[in-house]
Amino acid sequence: MGSFNFKSAGKTQEQRLVETLEVAKTPIGIKTPLQLNYGEGTELLVTYDKLSDVVHDNLRNLLLTNWGEHIGIYDFGANLRSLMSDLATSDDFDGKAIESISSAVGRWMSYVSLENYVSSSDRTDNKNTAKINIKITYSVPALEVTGRLLEINLYAM
């Protein structure tokens, strides 16, 4: 019998590296709002190939959805727009928003761990219209995602 060194058989390391780079990533989610894909790839719409990006998009959609807007699931969403209508008379907008966000995330996306909440109000364009900017820092322990920032804007009349 003889001896054989596997390093001299098959493909070289450079050939394996080139083949690895040429493999296209499988899309696992569609970016919202929908956008046509004019770039590379064969997909019609812009897609995500990382699970952390899909979770980020889903969390943004959850926070921007109000009750009654999701077909078939009436109480889906954080229902923040109802708080915006009471902005002028409410003393504790942030407390109610935190409670609403925590409740929605706990019910629909319990794998997300909320960390920080920061809000700011901007009335520079018009004294009667308010723009509320909410920044939320969150983690997804199962995906080893920590300290990711989500920023949403809400408008009130």
Domains of the chain with bracketed CATH: 50-156 (3.10.450.40)
Q: Which tops the pLDDT comparison, 119 or 86? A: 119
Q: For the sheet with 145-156, list strands across it.
A: 113-122, 130-140, 145-156
pLDDT > 90: percent of the chain? 38
User: How many C-beta neighbours within 10 Å does residue 59 have?
Assistant: 24
**pTM score:** 0.78
Backbone angles phi, psi at 121, to 5 degrees: -110, 140
The Cα–Cα gap between 145 and 55 comes to 10
Confidence band for 85, pLDDT divided at 50, 70 and 90: confident
- Contact in structure between 77 and 62 (CB atoms under 8 Å): yes
Strand intervals (E) in the chain? 29-30, 47-48, 113-122, 130-140, 145-156
- 104-139: pLDDT as tens digits: 999 999 999 999 999 888 767 666 677 889 999 999
Strand ranges in 34-129 using DSSP code E only, listed in sequence order: 47-48, 113-122
Measured N-to-C along each axis, helices 93-108 and 51-64 cross at an angle, to the nearest 10 degrees, of: 130
Cα separations in angstroms, 147 against 90, 115, 157: 30, 8, 32
